[in-house]
Amino acid sequence: MITLHAPRAVRALLDKHGVAPHKQLGQNFLCDANALETIADAGVVEGEAVLEIGPGLGSLTQQLAMRAKRVVAVEIDKGFLPILAETLADFDNVTIVHADFLKADFASLHRALGGGRFSVCANLPYYISTPILTRLLESKLPITQMTFLLQKEVGDRLAARPGQKNYGSLSVFAQHFAAIETVAKVGASCFVPAPNVDSIVVKLAMRPAPYELTDEALFFKLIRASFAMRRKTLANNLAAAFPIGKEDVQGLLTKIGLDSGVRAEALGVGEFAELSEGILLFLKEK
């Protein structure tokens, strides 16, 4: 098997196929054996299939294929297809799909994964990590867990707790769907070419929300609106987004035990859910 565990091995393979990494497609190849094994160990659930986004040259795909029942990997860059055929030649449990993941048809990907529960594991293209995450979180597919190598700043936002400076709408959104765990840090020297940002491995263990939610769309609108202007109070932000006066929002806040002048960054996910139910009831009774 061709292994890609050193920068020179990656460069040699790229040279052999006459291709160069495209910065605009987030092509930073992971070539550190330790990091690759750590991600695959965290990312594969025994007996399950794995969906990978952006297999690139196949270094993580190889590790996933060694551990998972099957791997479906979606790659946008056609130039990598002959390379993947070479690096994955030893595996009969890998399917490469040539597509833009943001436009890929989830129903057919799910069929290719065998139709049952699956996990997601990827070294994400950093320029679209948030839309990829959002699409997967909202997909309603039977995903057990998602393990991503991503820009540290995004990983920190996913895992942030109320009151922390990175806590925002992405934190609440992700924590509505999943328990978030930081797995490891990965240095820039583990990639070719080295990215100019720090990287982190984060695992999202999907679980049902630990609270009742009548209207998920309203909850998502509430989260976005709550953090729209971080320096404004929550009541001001919500009064600007919903047909409710500021005093009425303040009334709803005090009813669930919060200060009327509270800011969004102080609320936990459960409190946003409670507020969402309050707003729903208020709008119905109005």
Closer residue to ligand SAM in complex, CB, 123/171? 123
| Exposed / middle / buried, residue 158 (Cβ in 10 Å: 0-12, 13-18, 19+) | buried
Residues in contact with ligand SAM, shown as a per-residue x/- string from 117 to 146 under the rule CB under 6 A? ------x-x--x------------------
Of the ranges 23-31, 41-49, 181-189, 262-270, which one interacts with ligand SAM (CB under 6 A)? 23-31
Of the ranges 74-82, 107-115, 158-166, 265-273, which one interacts with ligand SAM (CB under 6 A)? 74-82
Using an 8 Å Cβ cutoff, are 205 and 148 in contact? Answer: no
CB of 153 to ligand SAM, least distance (A): 15
Strand-pair category, 178-186 with 199-206? antiparallel
Q: Is 26 in the site for ligand SAM (CB under 6 A)?
A: yes
Closer residue to ligand SAM in complex, CB, 137/223? 137
Using omega within 30 degrees of 0 as the cis cutoff, is the peptide bond preceding 55 cis? no
Cβ-closest position to ligand SAM: 54
Binds ligand SAM by CB under 6 A, chosen from 13, 27, 50, 244: 27
Closer residue to ligand SAM in complex, CB, 58/278? 58
Q: Is 155 in the site for ligand SAM (CB under 6 A)?
A: no
Q: Is 272 in the site for ligand SAM (CB under 6 A)?
A: no
Determine the Cα–Cα distance for residues 264 and 224; give it in Å rounded to an integer.
10
Q: Is 28 in the site for ligand SAM (CB under 6 A)?
A: yes
Q: Is 55 in the site for ligand SAM (CB under 6 A)?
A: yes
Closer residue to ligand SAM in complex, CB, 101/272? 101
Closer residue to ligand SAM in complex, CB, 83/249? 83
Q: Is 216 in the site for ligand SAM (CB under 6 A)?
A: no
Determine the Cα–Cα distance for residues 204 and 187; give it in Å rounded to an integer.
21
Q: Is 60 in the site for ligand SAM (CB under 6 A)?
A: yes
Binds ligand SAM by CB under 6 A, chosen from 51, 68, 72, 76: 76
Strand-pair category, 49-53 with 118-123? parallel
Of the ranges 28-36, 109-117, 170-178, 224-232, which one interacts with ligand SAM (CB under 6 A)? 28-36
Residues that bind ligand SAM (CB under 6 A): 25-30, 53-57, 59-60, 74-77, 100-102, 123, 125, 128
